[in-house]
Amino acid sequence: MVFSTFTSGRRPDLSPHILVLLGFALGVGGGLIVNLTIGRTAWVVGFMSNVTQPIEILFLRLLFVLIMPLLFSALVTSIAGLHDLRALRRMGGRMVAFILVASALATLVALATVNLFQPGEGIDPNAAEAMLSSAGKAGGAFSRDPVPTTLGMIVQFVPSNIVSAASENNLLGVVFFALMFGLGLMLVRTEGSKQLLLTIQGLFDVGVWLIGVVIRLAPIAVACFMFDLTVMFGWTLLSHLSAYVGVMLLAFALHVGFVYSSLVWIVGGMKPLVFFRAVQEATFIAFSTSSSNATLPTTLKVAEENLGLPPQVTRFVLGVCTVANQNGTAIYAAVTILFLAQFFGVHLGPTEQLTVFAICLLSGVCTVGVPAGAIPIVSAALVIVGVPPEAIGLVIGVDRLLDMCRTSLNVVGDLTIAIAISRFESPVEATS
C-alpha cells in the first residue's frame, strides 16, 4: 500500500499532528547537531536571522492578529445564543456551581503542581532574553506593562472605549465589552440585532477557519522554533520541555483521579471505575479529534446509552458544558503561563498568581472547542502577567499531544457534571 502510493506519484496524506511531530524532530535534530559540533558561528547566526526567525515572526503575527476578533466573537455568540434571560436562568445554579468549582479545582491543581516541580527553573535568564530579542518584534503592539493590582485589574476590565482596548491589546477590556454586547444582543430581539448576531457569528466562523489555516503552518514554524532553541540551549531545553510535559500530564491525572472521581462517586452516586469504563468511547474520540465540539454527538450517545442519563437533562447540560466547562484548558493555561514565566525569569508572586488563577478560570469557560483553540487565549494571557507573548513558540512543538490529552479531560469533565446534575433530576440507572 505504501509502495503503491509512492510509485503512483501521489503525496501520502499525513495527519497534522504527525507533521508537527516531524517538524519538531527535524528542528531538534538539526539544532542539536549544530549545538554539539560547530556552535553559533557567523553563518549559523546569519541563517537564524535571515531564515528561521522571519518564519517564526510571520507565524506568530498571523496567530496574534486573530486573537481579539476570535475572542470577541466567541464570547458574544455564546452569551447571545442563550436567547433570553429565562434560558440563562435555566442553566441552573447547580450546573454553574459545578462548572466553577471544577474549573477552580483544576486551576489550583495545576498551580500547585507547577509550583512544586518548577519545570522552567534553571535557564540562564540572559540567554532566554537574548533568544527573544529578535522574535520580540512579532509581539507588535503587545504591551509589557507590570502586572496590575487587583483594583487595577477592575479598572482595566472596564475600558474607556473599545477601540483603545483593542489597539492596546487590553484583553480584560475586550472581554468586558464582549460580555456586555452579548447580553445586549440577547435582550434586544429586533431584526437588526438578529442580523448583527449573524454577522458576528460569521466573524467567529471565519476566525475559527483562519486559526485552522495558521495552524497548518505550525510544522514549519515548529521546526524553526526548535532549531533556534536547541542551537542555543542544547539538551537543557529538551530536559525542561520534558519536565513541562510531565508536570502537565501529572496535573491532568490528579484532576481526573481525585476531582472527577470524587464528583462521580459522592455527588453522582456511581462507582468511578464503572463511570470511566462507560465513557471510554467518548474519551477516545476526543483524544483523536482534539475537539470537544466534534466529540459532542458521541458524548451525548455515551451519556444516554452507556450511563443511562435522561436525555432532557444531558442534551442541555452537555451542550452548555461543551463550551463552558473546559478544565483541561484551565490546567493547560496555568501550567503553561507559570512554566514560561519561570523559563524567562519573570517572577510571579502571590498577587500575580491570583491573577493567573482568574485568567485560567476564564479560559476554562470561553475557549473555542477546536484543535489548538487554547493557544490564542494563552498568548494573550501572557501579556497580562508580563511574559512576552512570543514565548508561546517554546511550547507549540509539544502542544498537539497536550491538546489531545486536555480535550479528553474536557469531555470526561462534561460527562462528570452531567451525571452529577442528573442525580438531582432522576435516579441514575448505571450505578452497578
> What secondary structure does DSSP assign to 301-312, as a single string?
HIIIIIS---HH
Neighbours of 424 (CB within 10 A): 12
Give the tens place of pLDDT for each residue, 100-120.
888 899 999 999 999 999 987
State the Cα–Cα distance between residues 323 and 321, nearest whole angstrom: 5
pLDDT at residue 73, rounded to an integer: 78
Give the tens place of pLDDT for each residue, 136-192.
444 444 344 444 444 555 555 566 666 655 555 555 667 677 778 877 887 887 888
State the Cα–Cα distance between residues 6 and 11, nearest whole angstrom: 7
Measured CA to CA in angstroms, residue 223 lies from 38, 63, 155, 191 at distances of: 19, 17, 41, 49
Whether 8 maps to a domain, the answer reads no
162: which 3 cell numbers?
A: 473599545
pLDDT at residue 279, rounded to an integer: 92
Highest mean pLDDT among 22-26, 332-336, 368-372, 399-403: 332-336
Whether 182 maps to a domain, the answer reads yes
State the Cα–Cα distance between residues 177 and 183, nearest whole angstrom: 10
pLDDT at residue 214, rounded to an integer: 78
**Contact present, 228 and 48 (Cβ < 8 Å):** yes
Give the tens place of pLDDT for each residue, 191-218.
888 888 889 888 878 877 887 787 778 7
Neighbours of 182 (CB within 10 A): 23
Nearest alpha carbon to residue 373 among 178, 210, 176: 210
State the Cα–Cα distance between residues 295 and 308, nearest whole angstrom: 18
Highest mean pLDDT among 73-87, 152-166, 179-193, 252-266: 252-266
State the Cα–Cα distance between residues 382 and 88, nearest whole angstrom: 31
**Contact present, 387 and 346 (Cβ < 8 Å):** yes
The larger pLDDT score, comparing residue 26 to residue 189, is at 26
Determine which helix (DSSP H) or strand (DSSP E) holds 153, and give its type and residue range. helix 150-157
| Torsion sign across C-alpha atoms 202, 208, 214, 216 | negative
State the Cα–Cα distance between residues 302 and 319, nearest whole angstrom: 14
**Percent share of the chain, pLDDT over 90:** 15
Highest mean pLDDT among 330-334, 348-352, 363-367, 389-393: 330-334
pLDDT at residue 224, rounded to an integer: 86
Whether 4 maps to a domain, the answer reads no
Residue 317 exposed, middle or buried by CB count within 10 Å (0-12, 13-18, 19+): buried
State the Cα–Cα distance between residues 244 and 57, nearest whole angstrom: 24
If you average pLDDT over residues 303-325, what whole number do you get? 79
Residue with grid cell 455515551, as numbered in its chain: 302
Whether 6 maps to a domain, the answer reads no
Number of domains in the chain: 1
State the Cα–Cα distance between residues 114 and 109, nearest whole angstrom: 9
The 10 Å CB-count burial string (b at 16+, else e) for 319-328 is ebbbbbbbbb
Whether 128 maps to a domain, the answer reads yes
CATH assignment at residue 282? 1.10.3860
Which residue type sits at 360? Answer: C
Model pTM score: 0.68
The larger pLDDT score, comparing residue 283 to residue 167, is at 283
Domain that holds residue 235: 14-425
Measured CA to CA in angstroms, residue 120 lies from 60, 146, 253, 358, 387 at distances of: 22, 21, 20, 22, 13
pLDDT at residue 416, rounded to an integer: 93
The larger pLDDT score, comparing residue 89 to residue 324, is at 324
The torsion angle over the Cα atoms of residues 416, 418, 419 and 425, rounded to 10 degrees, is: 150
Nearest alpha carbon to residue 234 among 4, 28, 14: 28
pLDDT at residue 15, rounded to an integer: 64
Whether 432 maps to a domain, the answer reads no
Evaluate if residue 69 carries a pLDDT over 90.
no
Whether 9 maps to a domain, the answer reads no
Evaluate if residue 259 carries a pLDDT over 90.
yes
Whether 42 maps to a domain, the answer reads yes
H-type alpha helices, 65-92: 67-80, 85-90
314: which 3 cell numbers?
A: 444531558
How many alpha carbons lie under 13 Å from residue 206 in its C-beta half-sphere? 10
Backbone angles phi and psi of 141, in degrees to 5: -85, 5
pLDDT at residue 155, rounded to an integer: 57
Residue 265 is given by DSSP the state I
